[in-house]
Amino acid sequence: MAEHNVLGERGETLAYEYLLKNGYTVLERNYRYLKAEVDLIAIKGGILAVVEVKTRSNRNFGLPQDFVSKKKIKLMVMAIDHYIQERELDVDVRFDIIAIVIDKNTVSLAHLEDAFYYF
């Protein structure tokens, strides 16, 4: 497996564990719909948190959250619309980013709630 894939999987596992420790129930990991993939779907207090996990090995090229594209946001919204309709959920939805930097032996994690809006 390519090194960046290993890093990404490690980041998703760290994000998953972080959400559990902070009272979220994780409903899905790597949910796919058509061309879209949502890293984590979790719920806490009646709010469905749709989480994009971005992991980098350093900050040399910017912050991890800076790499969420408009196309990715559009695909996530489409996938979550389908997810909610398919399951007939009545919940508020929030789009979050969990940004992780794993630099040598140091790990930093930032949970950005309501990280983006789709209009």
The pLDDT value recorded for residue 119 is 41
The pLDDT value recorded for residue 2 is 61
The pLDDT value recorded for residue 117 is 63
Render each residue's pLDDT in the chain as its tens digit; 119 residues: 566 567 778 889 999 999 999 999 999 999 999 999 999 999 999 999 999 999 888 777 777 787 788 898 899 999 999 999 999 999 999 999 999 998 888 889 999 999 876 54
Q: Work out the number of other CB atoms within 10 angstroms of the CB of residue 95.
A: 22
Q: Please tell me the distance from the alpha carbon of residue 111 to that of residue 3, in angstroms, as a whole number.
A: 24
Tokens of 17: 């564990």
Q: Tell me the domains of the chain and their CATH numbers.
A: 3-112 (3.40.1350.10)
